[in-house]
Amino acid sequence: MFKSFRYLKPYIISVITIFVLVAIRAFLNLIVPNLQGSLIDSMIRQLEVAPELRDFSDIWIYGGLMLLATVVGIVAIITSGYMEARTSSNYARDIRNAMYEKVQKFSMTEVDKFTTSSLITRITNDITSLQSTVNMLLRSVIMQPIMGIGAIVMAFLVHPQLSTVLLFGVLAVFTVVGSIWAITYNKFKKIQVLVDKLNLVTRENLSGLRVVRAFNTQDVQAKKTKAVAKESYDINVFVNRWFTAMWPTMGFVMQLITASIIYFSIKGGFLFAGSTLSAGQLSTLIQYGSQTIMNFMMITTTIMMLPRAAISANRVMDVIDEFLTITEAYEPEELPEKIQGEIEFDDVSFQYPDADQPILNHVSFKAEPGKMTAIIGSTGSGKSTLINLIPRFYDVTGGAIKVDGIDIRNIKINDYMKHIGYVPQKGILFKGTIKSNIGFGQEVLDEALVKKAAQIAQAESFIENFEMKYDSEINQGGTNVSGGQRQRLSIARAIAKNPEIYIFDDSFSALDYKTDKKLRSELAKHIHATIIVVAQRINTIRHADQIIVLDKGNVVGIGTHDELIKNCEVYLEIAQSQLSKEELGLWTKPMDEFLKNQKTLKAQWDN
């Protein structure tokens, strides 16, 4: 937990000021019981003399000092409270920003390791828990020790014999709170794990709500959620039951201390005539007894809460201190403002962490500027993995990916990403307007460029149907537009960036054939860049300049559509499942002869 305190360094002056104000409050709280005791004794003395001989000046002095101490204490409380809130809020803001900035640098390896739901919990619940703990520590780390120890010292100065009762009270506090801590400690970590799990289940159910309804599994999913919620409920009730029991127990201890002081003061004869204990001193002792028990209870409670906060701190710092698998080169090479955009896979292999075998094996090809390179293969062949290596969502585990002959690992990530327009398989939109989504990432929004990008992406037709046109609101996640519209806006966003390299990860799958064809035609007409497309549909890529065929992580064919139909069995199988013989252009020769030729060519390829 102490590692997280480094984010308090910029506010060290505020922290010191808070400690000074808290110390002043503690000192004032310690002298008030003495002033009150002296006031009581002075009043009793004046009541014992004849009315004409009474002098109330001491009473006014003690009363005035008590009032002054109260006023100064109130000012100190208000000032320190404001500074505590501001300092803890700044601390939480800085640590949250640091965590967010670190997550922005994560590769998909780190995201997969922590999981999205856990990262959300850490950046919200855990940091809020840390903020509350820091706020509490700023107030109590000085206040409670001074008050607790100071009250015992002051009580001993008043009456050493009766003050020994307080030591037994302190021992009782440590025993009770320590026992509760021992019983509940192991539950705190599990609570955090269950919060992650509950977030995961809830997020899964909400994101997959349509599927859940379509398969009529609401009851099954509800049972899963209820099971996690029930487990979380049981643990929280268990912990809170013990914490709830602590306060009345401490109240009982305080009352017992008060009763003991009164009992022993009478039994010991301290209150009789000629005794060494006055009524004011008895009142002072009782107040110091209450202060002692209350502050030592707060000390032990704070100590008991620290492990829970430490768990949150560790979870947060685990993210901030996480080793990045993708880092900047020590001496990165400079990229010019405009690049050619040639992408080369040079004997590239890739294996996921903890996987048994590589997902890509010795992949080599070039994607040239001004041409479309398509990637196709069966499910699990490694298409999306290959695409994710280009923008460095993952780094290769073997070989190299080069842009214009430079290993992308030797280029500054931000400089490299400026030249890439990426469209994911699932269109992602942000809350805002259509205009802000298409112009996402642009420092100055170029409306002409936004409209041009929308035209090329075939989005203009439906945008013009909206009442506010390009200023129409988009809900979070783009829930108020269709899947095809969402995808076209995502494509328009990449086009508006005007990069030298375009990556489409099966981005045309949500489009109908007519829109798909027209969009590809517009891309070819207006975009002179390196275009890399992952697709499942043959019609999407059949006119590509180069098609890479993947099978189980291996390149089994490279060429145009017509070439691959003749010499790549895997491509032919995919094509046969989607196209008719007439579309394939194979009706002129018997199929059995054709397939025989494929086996011969495959054997030559393997050799």
Q: What is the pLDDT of residue 273?
A: 43
In which band, very low, low, confident or very high, does the pLDDT at 276 lie, cut at 50, 70 and 90? low
pLDDT surpassing 90 at residue 349: yes
Cα separation, 129 vs 235, in Å, equals 18
Q: Do domains 2-320 and 343-419+499-606 have the same CATH topology?
A: no
Q: Which pLDDT tens digit goes with each residue over 549-560?
A: 998 889 999 998
DSSP state of 3: G
Listing from the earlier edge strand, what are the strands of the sheet with 343-350? Answer: 360-367, 343-350, 398-403, 406-407
Average pLDDT score over residue span 528-544: 85
* β-pair partners for 559: 547
Characterize 114-133 residue by residue with b for buried, 16 or more Cβ atoms within 10 angstroms of its Cβ, and e for exposed.
Answer: beebbbebbbebbbebbbeb
Residue 600 pLDDT level (bands cut at 50, 70, 90): low
CA-to-CA distance for 494 and 387, rounded, in angstroms? Answer: 15
pLDDT of residue 234: 85
How deeply is 243 buried, as exposed, middle or buried, from its count of CB atoms within 10 A (0-12, 13-18, 19+)? middle
Q: pLDDT at residue 19 above 80?
A: yes
Average pLDDT of the residues of the chain: 82
pLDDT, residue 274, reads: 45
pLDDT at 299: 79
Q: Distance of CA 535 to CAs 349, 505, 573, 584, Å?
A: 21, 7, 15, 18
Cα 113 to chain center, whole Å? Answer: 13
Relative to beta strand 420-423, strand 501-505 is parallel
Closest C-alpha among 127, 74, 61 to residue 98: 127
Domain boundaries, the chain: 2-320, 343-419+499-606
Give the three-class secondary structure for 473. strand
pLDDT of residue 344: 92
Q: What is the DSSP string of 115-162?
A: -HHHHHHIIIIIHHHHHHHHHHHHHHHHHHHHHHHHHHHHHHHH-HHH
How far does CA 381 lie from the centroid of its chain? Answer: 32
373 forms bridges with which residues in the sheet? 532, 546
Residue 526 predicted with pLDDT over 60? yes
Question: 536: pLDDT confidence band, cut at 50, 70 and 90?
Answer: confident
Among 30-44, 405-419, 491-505, whose mean pLDDT is lowest?
A: 30-44
Q: Which of 94-98, 261-265, 495-499, 506-510 has the highest mean pLDDT?
A: 94-98
Residue 99 vs residue 37, higher pLDDT? 99
Neighbours of 160 (CB within 10 A): 9
User: Over the stretch 155-166, which tens digit does the pLDDT of each residue have?
Assistant: 888 877 777 777
Q: What is the pLDDT of residues 26-73, one digit of tens each?
A: 888 888 888 888 788 777 777 766 676 667 777 788 888 889 988 998
The pLDDT of 126-131, averaged and rounded, is 88
- What is d(CA 87, CA 8) in angstroms, rounded to the nearest whole number? 8
Pairing mode of beta strands 530-534, 372-377: parallel
SS3 content of the chain, % helix, strand, coil (to 5): 65, 10, 25
Nearest-5° Cα angle at 274, 268 to 276: 55
Residue 79 has which token pair? Answer: 């000032």
- Phi and psi at 342, nearest 5°, equal -75, 125
Position with higher pLDDT, 579 vs 550: 550
Q: Is the pLDDT of residue 561 over 80?
A: yes
pLDDT of residue 589: 46
Q: What is the pLDDT of residue 380?
A: 82
In this structure, CATH architecture of domain 2-320: Up-down Bundle (1.20)
Across 238-243, average pLDDT: 80
Look at residue 588 in the predicted model and tell me its pLDDT: 41
pLDDT attached to residue 272:
41
Lowest mean pLDDT: which of 66-80, 109-123, 380-394? 109-123
**Rounded distance, CA 236 to CA 83, Å?**
32
> Taken in order 99, 100, 105, 111, is the CA torsion positive or negative?
positive
Q: Is pLDDT larger for residue 495 or for residue 584?
A: 495
Q: Residue 134 pLDDT more than 70?
A: yes
What residue spans of 159-277 are helical by DSSP H?
Answer: 160-207, 209-214, 218-267
User: What class does CATH assign to 343-419+499-606?
Assistant: alpha beta
- Answer whether residue 504 shows pLDDT above 60: yes
Most confident of 56-70, 89-103, 117-131, 432-446: 89-103
Q: What is the DSSP string of 320-385?
A: HTPPPSS---SSPBPPPSS----EEEEEEEE--TT-SS-SEEEEEEEE-TTSEEEEEESTTSSHHH
pLDDT band at 222 (very low <50, low <70, confident <90, very high): confident
Which of these ranges, 67-71, 77-81, 268-272, 585-589, has the smallest mean pLDDT? 585-589
The SS3 call for residue 480 is coil
Q: Has residue 271 got a pLDDT over 60?
A: no
**Are residues 249 and 178 in contact, defined by beta-carbon separation less than 8 angstroms?**
no
Model-level pTM? Answer: 0.70
Q: List pLDDT tens digits, range 295-320.
A: 887 877 777 777 778 888 888 888 88
> Quick one: pLDDT at residue 325?
82
Instruction: Give the pLDDT band (50/70/90) at residue 601.
Output: low
Looking at the predicted structure, is the pLDDT value of residue 583 above 70? no
108 vs 112: CA distance, rounded Å: 6
Neighbours of 159 (CB within 10 A): 21
